[in-house]
Amino acid sequence: MSIYEVVQAAMHGQDPDKYLGLLHDDFQFVRHQSGNTMDKAATADMIRRMVASGGLAVHDQRCLYENGDILVEHSVMDFPDGTREAVMAVHMLRDGKIIRTETGATPVSK
Protein backbone atom coordinates (compact mmCIF):
# COMPACT_ATOMS: atom_id res chain seq x y z
CA MET A 1 0.00 0.00 0.00
CA SER A 2 1.36 3.43 -0.92
CA ILE A 3 1.86 6.20 1.65
CA TYR A 4 -0.96 8.14 -0.05
CA GLU A 5 -3.38 5.22 0.31
CA VAL A 6 -2.67 5.05 4.05
CA VAL A 7 -3.04 8.85 4.40
CA GLN A 8 -6.34 8.73 2.51
CA ALA A 9 -7.70 5.84 4.58
CA ALA A 10 -6.67 7.55 7.83
CA MET A 11 -8.21 10.90 6.89
CA HIS A 12 -11.50 9.47 5.67
CA GLY A 13 -11.69 7.04 8.57
CA GLN A 14 -10.97 9.81 11.09
CA ASP A 15 -8.13 7.63 12.44
CA PRO A 16 -5.38 9.93 13.71
CA ASP A 17 -3.23 7.07 14.99
CA LYS A 18 -3.10 5.48 11.55
CA TYR A 19 -1.90 8.80 10.11
CA LEU A 20 0.51 9.49 12.97
CA GLY A 21 2.03 6.04 12.45
CA LEU A 22 3.28 7.30 9.07
CA LEU A 23 5.32 10.09 10.65
CA HIS A 24 9.09 9.68 11.03
CA ASP A 25 10.45 10.23 14.55
CA ASP A 26 12.21 13.38 13.24
CA PHE A 27 9.03 14.69 11.56
CA GLN A 28 8.50 18.43 11.06
CA PHE A 29 5.34 20.23 9.97
CA VAL A 30 5.95 23.67 8.51
CA ARG A 31 3.05 26.02 9.19
CA HIS A 32 3.38 28.76 6.62
CA GLN A 33 0.42 30.68 8.03
CA SER A 34 2.23 31.32 11.32
CA GLY A 35 5.85 30.75 10.29
CA ASN A 36 6.16 28.05 12.95
CA THR A 37 7.50 24.52 12.65
CA MET A 38 5.94 21.75 14.71
CA ASP A 39 7.57 18.45 15.68
CA LYS A 40 5.85 15.06 15.69
CA ALA A 41 4.47 15.40 19.25
CA ALA A 42 2.97 18.86 18.65
CA THR A 43 1.53 17.74 15.32
CA ALA A 44 0.00 14.66 16.97
CA ASP A 45 -1.67 16.83 19.63
CA MET A 46 -3.09 19.17 16.98
CA ILE A 47 -4.43 16.35 14.79
CA ARG A 48 -5.97 14.45 17.70
CA ARG A 49 -7.74 17.62 18.91
CA MET A 50 -9.13 18.39 15.45
CA VAL A 51 -10.41 14.84 14.93
CA ALA A 52 -11.87 14.64 18.45
CA SER A 53 -13.80 17.89 17.86
CA GLY A 54 -15.80 16.23 15.09
CA GLY A 55 -15.29 19.29 12.92
CA LEU A 56 -12.59 17.97 10.58
CA ALA A 57 -13.67 16.71 7.16
CA VAL A 58 -11.67 15.99 4.00
CA HIS A 59 -13.23 16.31 0.53
CA ASP A 60 -11.98 15.70 -2.99
CA GLN A 61 -8.65 14.29 -1.79
CA ARG A 62 -6.33 13.23 -4.59
CA CYS A 63 -2.73 12.24 -5.11
CA LEU A 64 -0.93 14.46 -7.60
CA TYR A 65 2.42 12.66 -7.42
CA GLU A 66 4.12 10.03 -5.30
CA ASN A 67 7.43 8.22 -5.41
CA GLY A 68 9.87 7.02 -2.74
CA ASP A 69 10.98 10.57 -1.92
CA ILE A 70 7.86 12.74 -2.07
CA LEU A 71 4.07 12.71 -1.94
CA VAL A 72 2.07 15.67 -3.25
CA GLU A 73 -1.65 15.74 -2.54
CA HIS A 74 -4.54 18.17 -2.78
CA SER A 75 -7.83 18.25 -0.91
CA VAL A 76 -10.53 20.54 0.36
CA MET A 77 -10.74 20.49 4.15
CA ASP A 78 -13.34 21.67 6.63
CA PHE A 79 -11.79 22.62 9.96
CA PRO A 80 -13.26 22.66 13.50
CA ASP A 81 -13.35 26.49 13.50
CA GLY A 82 -15.85 26.42 10.62
CA THR A 83 -13.40 27.40 7.89
CA ARG A 84 -12.85 25.56 4.62
CA GLU A 85 -9.54 25.56 2.73
CA ALA A 86 -8.15 24.09 -0.45
CA VAL A 87 -4.92 22.48 0.79
CA MET A 88 -1.85 21.46 -1.18
CA ALA A 89 0.35 19.22 0.96
CA VAL A 90 3.89 18.25 0.09
CA HIS A 91 5.23 15.38 2.18
CA MET A 92 8.94 14.58 2.00
CA LEU A 93 9.61 10.89 2.66
CA ARG A 94 12.47 9.06 4.31
CA ASP A 95 12.70 5.37 5.22
CA GLY A 96 9.09 4.83 4.11
CA LYS A 97 7.75 7.52 6.47
CA ILE A 98 6.84 11.19 6.24
CA ILE A 99 9.79 13.26 7.50
CA ARG A 100 8.49 16.75 6.64
CA THR A 101 5.18 18.25 5.55
CA GLU A 102 4.65 21.70 4.10
CA THR A 103 1.25 22.98 3.11
CA GLY A 104 -0.22 25.81 1.13
CA ALA A 105 -3.83 26.66 1.80
CA THR A 106 -6.39 28.92 0.18
CA PRO A 107 -9.63 29.80 1.98
CA VAL A 108 -12.71 28.76 0.02
CA SER A 109 -16.39 29.29 0.75
CA LYS A 110 -18.69 26.41 1.63
Are 47 and 74 spatial neighbours (Cβ–Cβ below 8 Å)? Answer: no
Q: Write down the pLDDT at residue 4.
A: 94
Measured distance CA(30)–CA(59) in Å, rounded: 22
Measured distance CA(40)–CA(82) in Å, rounded: 25
68 phi, psi to nearest 5 deg? -70, -10
Measured distance CA(79)–CA(64) in Å, rounded: 22
Using 50, 70 and 90 to split pLDDT, how confident is the model at 30? Answer: very high
CATH 3.40.50.720 fits 3-107, yes or no: no
Q: Write down the pLDDT at residue 54.
A: 84
Q: Write down the pLDDT at residue 38.
A: 96
- What tens digit of pLDDT does each residue of 18-28 get? 999 999 999 99
Higher pLDDT, 32 or 23: 23
Domain parsing of the chain, residue ranges: 3-107
Q: Amino acid identity, residue 2? A: S
Measured distance CA(8)–CA(109) in Å, rounded: 23
Q: Write down the pLDDT at residue 60.
A: 94
| Closest to 57 (Cα-Cα) out of 35, 79, 42 | 79
Its pTM surpasses 0.85 = yes
